[in-house]
Amino acid sequence: MGRLFWKFFLFIWLGQMAAVLGTGAFFWFERQQFEARIAGEEHLPPPHSHESRPPRPGFSGPTDHLLPRHPPRKHAGGPIPLLPVIAGLVASLLCAAGLAWYFAKPIRHLRTAFTSVQEGNLAVRVGDSMGGRRDELADLGHDFDRMTERLQALMGAQKRLLHDVSHEMRSPLARLQAAIGLLRQQPERLDDSLVRIEREGERMNGLVSELLTLSRLEAGVSVPFEDVEMAELLAGIVDDARFEGAERKVRIDFVADVVDLVVRANPELLHRAIENVIRNALRFSPVGGTVRLQVERQGNSVLLQIADEGIGVAASELEAIFVPFYRGREQASGSGYGLGLAIARQVIAAVDGEISAKLKADGQSGLQIDIRLPCK
């Protein structure tokens, strides 16, 4: 038994013992008062007690019963009734022990669970050990389970992130080493080797930049917000996308009515989020395909729909594509780092917006990303 049990037990038992003794003393005192009143009344002579009643005429029997009689006197006082008091103390002792155990048991489980978490075991749960309790201690246990589940998920995500980062860094580093080795063996191919080294350096720089952006967003680092004109923002993004898609003859179909449409956000991050989604659609569109960007206002929000004609993803992967470094089974070997949509989700969430993915209707191939932003 822990210290908390004995504290509960002591205070509960003392309280119950005081209640038992107080109640017993009250009834004992009342009894004494009652017996004293009875004894006082017995000392008073009955009416005509000094006179004997004459026998009836013709009565020849004994006349002793006609004399005044006084019942034996009872004296006030008496011993305290120990048996009820002892029974009450024993009952209070058992009740206090039961209550102390009832309150201390879940707290003892919580203490053990916190010790396990401190030692690195995030799989510990205490909800089942609470039994059928429906009180604040049970709520505390379930809150503890939710906390450890969240910590376990965050630690798992961190481990996966470190694994994915090391994997992504390993490939360009390996190519850099190969380019350097080739340069040493064939100095005459200096230009080709330098181009390869420069390309891999830019790739690593881009990966680090994406990681830093994602890390800042996940950490909740505050960034300045301002009114962003959506017409100007989207025009610049579409122009860049058309230039990038021209090489593969991918057309950008831009349908929008964004006159006087203002969103409160960080312009750089919002530009990057929407651009990531459109570039992702360009990357997986077939040669000669079309990426459609449709923008419409719906009440106090603006809806952006970006749809491509690529191979799409499985329905089970619609949520997973927003996880860092996730590329999908079909795009596992494609270009990119798998961070664009993850960054877009963090940016959209920071402005109280929503982003989701769905398959195109009517059985058409491709993926559609919907972005909803609050606007003025």
Instruction: Provide the annotated active-site residues.
Output: 167
369: Cβ contacts below 8 Å, ≥ 6 apart: 277, 280, 281, 305, 306, 307, 341, 355, 356, 357
Residue 116 and residue 147 in contact, taking contact as beta carbons nearer than 8 Å: no
The C-alpha atoms of residue 200 and residue 135 are separated, in whole angstroms, by 59
Alpha-carbon span 289 to 35, nearest angstrom: 109
Helix (H) or strand (E) holding 372: strand 367-374
- Give the angle 241-282-326 at the CA atoms, nearest 5°: 125
Phi, psi of 370 (to 5 degrees): -105, 130
190-219 and 136-185 helices, crossing angle to 10°? 170
- Count Cβ neighbours within 10 Å for each residue of 277-311 and write b for 16 or more, e otherwise: bbbbbbbbbeeebbbbbbbebeeeebbbbbbbbbe
**Distance between CA 14 and CA 19 in Å, rounded?**
8
In sequence order, which ranges of the chain are alpha helices (DSSP H)?
3-43, 82-118, 136-185, 190-219, 230-245, 267-283, 340-350
Which of 294, 285, 295 has its CA nearest to residue 251?
285
**For residues 129 and 145, is the Cβ–Cβ distance under 8 A?**
no
Secondary structure of 225-236 in HEC code, one letter for each residue: CEEEEHHHHHHH
Token pair, residue 104, equals 């201390």
Tokens linked to 242: 């058309």
